Amino acid sequence: MSFTIAVAGKGGTGKTTISSLIIRGLIKKGKTPVFAVDADANVNLNEQLGVKVEKTIGGVREEMLDTIGAGKMPAGMSKETYMEYQIQDALIEENGFDLLVMGRPEGPGCYCYANNLLRRYIEVLAKNYPYIVIDNEAGMEHLSRRTTQKIDLLLIVSEPNPVGILTAARIRDLAKEMKISVGKTGLVINRVNGELPDILKQEVEKYGLELIGTIPIDDTITNFSFERKPTILMPDDSPSTRAIGEIIDKFVA
pLDDT tens string 219-244: 999 999 999 999 999 999 999 999 99
Q: pLDDT, tens digit, for every residue of 189-229? A: 999 999 999 999 999 999 999 999 999 999 999 999 999 99
C-alpha closest to that of 46 among 197, 54, 173: 54
pTM check: above 0.85: yes
What's the whole-number mean pLDDT along residues 73-97?
A: 86
What's the whole-number mean pLDDT along residues 57-80?
A: 78
CA distance 151 to 183: 6
Which domains are seen in the chain, by residue range? 3-249 (3.40.50.300)
More confident residue, 107 or 223: 223
User: In this prediction, what percent of the chain has a pLDDT beyond 70?
Assistant: 90
User: In this prediction, what percent of the chain has a pLDDT beyond 90?
Assistant: 62
What's the whole-number mean pLDDT along residues 170-190?
A: 91
C-alpha closest to that of 94 among 35, 15, 140: 35
Model confidence at 5, in pLDDT bands (50, 70, 90)? very high
Predicted pLDDT at 76? 75
Predicted pLDDT at 146? 46
